Chain A
């Protein structure tokens, strides 16, 4: 029962989201002109298609999944069993958390400091343990990014705030970026 529920869950979630958005589309339906299709018609048509496909997928998986194992639409549980590699959920959670933290930190720490930390921690979370390679790759890599994007591509990367801004400006001066 549980694998069946698990394989149905994504479609049910998408179906619910489609229903919610379909109702939300009513808010801008009123903007339409008489005799013309309104701005809600196209998104609602897409949402109806989404609901129909999700509905069919739910019915198919709930009722016929055992008889239909050979179909190209293998269930998630099949996908799981086919996967030969071990799954590292901790690595994944750490990677996502680190990525969110990186985006949050960019404005405060500036591009250079946050990138050095992000690269180093990402490699560690990714189960790589050679400290010298990590240190060298993250520092040299970050400097290379700063140089290429600020000196050559002319992208204004975030400098950070307070002392981090001063550090970023010093690094830019060292790299000849003015």
Chain B
């Protein structure tokens, strides 16, 4: 632990270099802007920022993207509370109590509670990342290919099971992503797979084009079909933040504690993430909170619970990303992409080989928490003016960012065709209610899954039971099975509950 604190202190020193400090500030501002704009999602913003990191150092790149991710979990709260427009899905629970509080003439108090919750959630997530990452990585050093396969499978199952959409659709999306990862020349045998004699497919499908096309252009096309018809927003009203007093905060200890734990756990479990954390924390507050009967009427507990949980997921997500190289969400998939683009493979060894970089990233997360709160307190009024920009104009530039971003990776016009194809695929997925995240994660993790599966089969003479008989991989496989059975359990429970409600006379 002393070593970790020493490294963290050095990380703060490294953070003071102009490139790292500038990345932090830019990441915070852009992340908040992205979260404020209803047409742009947080993942989409992180994806669009990725091309700008090509020319940067790896540490500055990750600082930029992580700061965007962290401040993005907070920025959407403003539009949720003030205008009843959630900038992100994770901000939806915030409007259930935040908006009523604002309507009761207390918008400054509502924003104050959000700031406090984001600050606490941010601090606790940074501490958890520093405390958990090294033990997690040391544990991961015991992993062999069966364990890696099992963990990747757990990550993919988590995305399918906890993604919130139909499980069949999520599984289909995942299969599409896994298949995309098989296109090109096979690593083991050197044989062409699904290339159909098209030269550009020999290099495989760049997951960057899948991400940028599906998340970026796909979303633009979806908004275009809706006619860019977001309602006009009057942003001239008074936007102020009033921080709660200590005696107001003290009774909320159980809410803050519960939500922090939920947030960290949802971060570590692959596939859960900020949106799930936010909804679960609100739901738990509704079941166990002292003032659960008043939830939804504009009470602080309804604001604090989802905001603490959603911000607290960020550090949790960074733990498996850094220690195992496995992203658990769309945003961390992009951050993994940034690592790989700079030739750094996250995994258990990274804490030995790149300790300075890892702890500078952790230090930047601490600084980002303070920065986003200062930004939220002092600069939100000018930031929120971006809501006055016409959606057709911002969307045109988002589409352009997608193209330039994809082109910058290899200076290849053929990548732009990939963007168009995956833009249309993303639009169709959105339209037909297939979630995009499993496809993207399948595309990124597919090759790791296949390689670890094939290596295990070669090493253990095609004995597939090896995944179940080794202690760690067996345990992880059981967790995978539970993750996949969870939606079925949820469905049965809901059906039984609705049957009971129907049977009970009014």
Contacts and interface: CB of A to CB of B under 8 A. Distances in A.
A7 to B, nearest CB: 9
Nearest to A127: B227
Nearest to B169: A73
B189 A73 contact: no
Given A21-B179, A103-B417, A153 B172 contact: no
Interface centre among A57, A126, A153 (most CB of B within 10 A): A126
Interface in B120-137: none
Contacts of A112: none
A78 B122 CA distance: 38
Contacts of B175: 46-47, 49-50, 53
Interface centre among A95, A96, A149 (most CB of B within 10 A): A95
A126 B396 contact: yes
Contacts of B278: none
A74 B411 contact: no
B454 interface: yes
A72 interface: yes
Interface in B155-205: 165-169, 171-172, 175-176, 178-179, 182, 186, 188-189, 191-194
A16 B407 CA distance: 33
Interface stretch (A85-93, A159-167, A170-178): A85-93
Nearest to A57: B168
Interface size class of B (residues with CB under 8 A): 35 or more
B306 to A, nearest CB: 21
B172 to A, nearest CB: 6
Interface centre among A21, A25, A31, A74 (most CB of B within 10 A): A31
Given A10-B432, A145-B404, A133 B393 contact: yes
B386 interface: no
A79 B225 CA distance: 15
A46 B182 contact: yes
Contacts of B503: none
A11 B395 CA distance: 30
B382 interface: no
A166 to B, nearest CB: 20
B194 A43 contact: yes
Contacts of B396: 118-119, 122-123, 126, 137-138
B504 interface: no
B291 interface: no
Interface string B305-332: 0000000000000000000000000000
B172 A92 contact: no
Contacts of B469: none
Contacts of A158: 413
Nearest to B56: A153
* Chain A binding surface SS class: helix
Nearest to A103: B416
Contact of B172 (A53, A103, A115, A122): A53
A113 B435 CA distance: 36
A91 B228 CA distance: 10
B217 interface: yes
A3 interface: no
B167 A153 contact: no
Interface in B428-463: 428, 431-433, 450, 453-454, 457-458, 462
Contacts of B225: 87-89, 91-92
A54 B169 CA distance: 9
A158 B228 CA distance: 30
Given A72-B166, A72-B491, A128-B228, A36 B399 contact: no
Given A49-B171, A128-B393, A85 B226 contact: yes
A145 B262 CA distance: 42
Interface string B206-229: 000000000001001100111111
A133 B390 CA distance: 10
B172 A50 contact: yes
A60 B167 CA distance: 13
Contacts of B224: 88, 91-92, 95, 125-126
A62 B312 CA distance: 43
A11 B98 CA distance: 40
B390 to A, nearest CB: 5
Contacts of B495: 70
Contact of A79 (B192, B433, B450): B433
A153 B55 contact: yes
Interface string A68-111: 00111110100100000111110110011001101100110000
Nearest to A124: B392
Interface in B397-422: 397, 399-400, 403-404, 407-408, 411, 413, 416-417, 420
B297 interface: no
B191 A28 contact: yes
Contacts of A14: 172, 176
Contacts of B229: 85-86
Given A39-B186, A118-B399, 6 more contacts: A36-B458, A50-B175, A70-B495, A91-B224, A126-B396, A128-B390
Interface of A: 10-11, 14, 21, 24-25, 28, 31-33, 35-43, 46-47, 49-50, 53-54, 56-57, 60, 70-74, 76, 79, 85-89, 91-92, 95-96, 99-100, 102-103, 106-107, 115, 118-119, 122-123, 125-128, 130, 133-134, 137-138, 141, 145, 149, 152-158
Q: What 7 A-B pairs come out closest when comparing CB atoms?
A: A73-B166, A126-B392, A128-B392, A50-B175, A88-B227, A122-B396, A31-B191
18 contacts: A28-B186, A28-B191, A41-B454, A43-B182, A50-B175, A50-B179, A53-B171, A72-B487, A76-B433, A86-B227, A91-B224, A99-B420, A119-B400, A126-B227, A126-B391, A127-B392, A133-B390, A152-B55
